Structure formats: structure tokens, C-alpha cells
Amino acid sequence: MREGYEVIAVNYWREVKLDIKKILSGFWNTLLFIHNCEDFKEVVDFFKQMPYTGKIVYISLTKTNDIIITQFKDTNFKMFVVDCISKMLFEKLDTDKCFFEDAPSDLSQVFILIEKYLKKMNPDLLIIDSVTPFINFSTYSRSEIQQFEQFLEKFREKNALTACKFILIYEDLLLKELKYLPTLEVDVVLKMDVLVGRINWEG
């Protein structure tokens, strides 16, 4: 977060206005979570509202294992991280709770990772952080949409075979207009806006 600034409000947006806890505890298989958070802690605070303490596989395409584990250390989740960043920087060996993979170059490779860790870990929840490198909801091309919709279609096929839920994270740091959202391909689209500004403490 920028120096001298503090979070002054957190807004949630959804197509249907419901209480956030009701959304998270309701029936869904695939949730698209859109946020503008510069501070990863705000994203973690969202996940802390999940109404269960199951096994989570966190496939990270943007953050290292060290960052993720540090933020999730005070939760009851059984967290397993698939780190797709560290291997590009230095050699890493897998541990009981962290696995190191090469960064996927497209959505088909992302899905290969998903299938691998569904089979390996049998999680209750699988998080992909994030799909932003592969799709731009503000200035998209038709080919991008087709590839993304094909990717989401594979989730539908998996939903019939597993009880696992999926959360896809999309970062909207520049707060651009979202001209496309896959509202037919996912069960829930949830957007969180964190408003950051200066607080004047002088009376």
C-alpha cells in the first residue's frame, strides 16, 4: 500500500445484492473474484470469511509461497501452495505443503496444473491467483474470450466429477471499465473495491 495512505472502505459488488457470507456459504461451484487490492492482506481477509475450514490448494501465478504462507498463517485452513513464481528465480524443492512448478504460458497449461493437483490433493477449494495475465476484461479480443470460455467450460466438466469448488481471481488494479464478464460461465461474479485515501487525524 502507498506510504501515508490507509484503507478507508471496502465495497463488495455483485449482480444480485446479497450478504457476502450468504454468498460464500451458498451453492456455487465456480466463483470469479475481482479485486483492486494492492495489498495482498485485503485479499486474504476476504478468504478468511469462508464459512468452512477445509483443504485449500492455492495455485499462485503472481506471488511466491513465502508471501502467501505469511498472510495465511493465522487461519484454520489446511493450505497447500503451488508456487509458479519462485522456480523462475532460483531452484526450489517441494515440501509437504508447497509445490514448485514452471509458470504456465497459457490457460491450457493452467488447467493441466489444476487437474494435477485435484488428483494429487483432493482439495475442498482450489484458488487460481490470477487469471489476469490471460484475459483482460477491459480491452479484450474475441480470441481471448473464446479461450477463456473454453477454459471455464472445462470447469463445468470437472464439477460433475468432483465436490471441489473453484475461485478464479482477477486483478483490476487500474479500476478500468469491465466491458466483458463471463456471467453465464461462472456461478458467482463477486467484485471487491478497496478505497484508499488519506485520513486527516487533526481535529
Quote the CA–CA distance of 7 and 39 in Å, as a whole number: 10
- The enclosing domain of 38 has a CATH number of 3.40.50
pTM: 0.86
Predicted confidence at residue 16, as pLDDT, reads 44
Check whether 15 has a pLDDT greater than 50.
Answer: no
Rounded average pLDDT over 81-99: 91
Quote the CA–CA distance of 38 and 1 in Å, as a whole number: 6
Tell me the per-residue pLDDT of 34-47, one tens digit each, with 9 for 90 and over.
999 888 988 998 88
Report if residue 41 sits inside a domain.
yes
Predicted confidence at residue 160, as pLDDT, reads 78
Q: Evaluate whether 88 touches 70 at the Cβ level (below 8 Å).
A: no
Predicted confidence at residue 98, as pLDDT, reads 96
Report if residue 1 sits inside a domain.
no
Report if residue 127 sits inside a domain.
yes
Report if residue 182 sits inside a domain.
yes
Tell me the per-residue pLDDT of 105-131, one tens digit each, with 9 for 90 and over.
999 999 999 999 999 999 999 999 999
Residue scoring higher pLDDT (187 or 17)? 187
Tell me the per-residue pLDDT of 168-199, one tens digit each, with 9 for 90 and over.
999 998 878 898 999 889 998 988 888 766 55
Rounded average pLDDT over 58-77: 90
Residue scoring higher pLDDT (73 or 66)? 66
If one counts the domains in the chain, the total is 1
Report if residue 201 sits inside a domain.
no
Q: Which residues of 94-120 are buried (b: 16+ CB within 10 A; e: fewer)?
A: eeeebbbbebbeebeebbebbeebbee
Check whether 74 has a pLDDT greater than 90.
Answer: no
60 class by beta-carbon count within 10 Å (0-12 exposed, 13-18 middle, 19+ buried): buried
Report if residue 203 sits inside a domain.
no
Predicted confidence at residue 20, as pLDDT, reads 75
Determine what percent of the chain is predicted with pLDDT higher than 70: 87
Check whether 3 has a pLDDT greater than 80.
Answer: no
Confidence of residue 17 (pLDDT cuts 50, 70, 90): very low
First to last CA, the chain: 25
Residue 61 CB contacts under 8 Å (≥ 6 apart), including other chains: 84, 85, 103, 104, 110, 128, 129, 130, 133
Predicted confidence at residue 128, as pLDDT, reads 97
- Give the domain extent around 186: 6-196
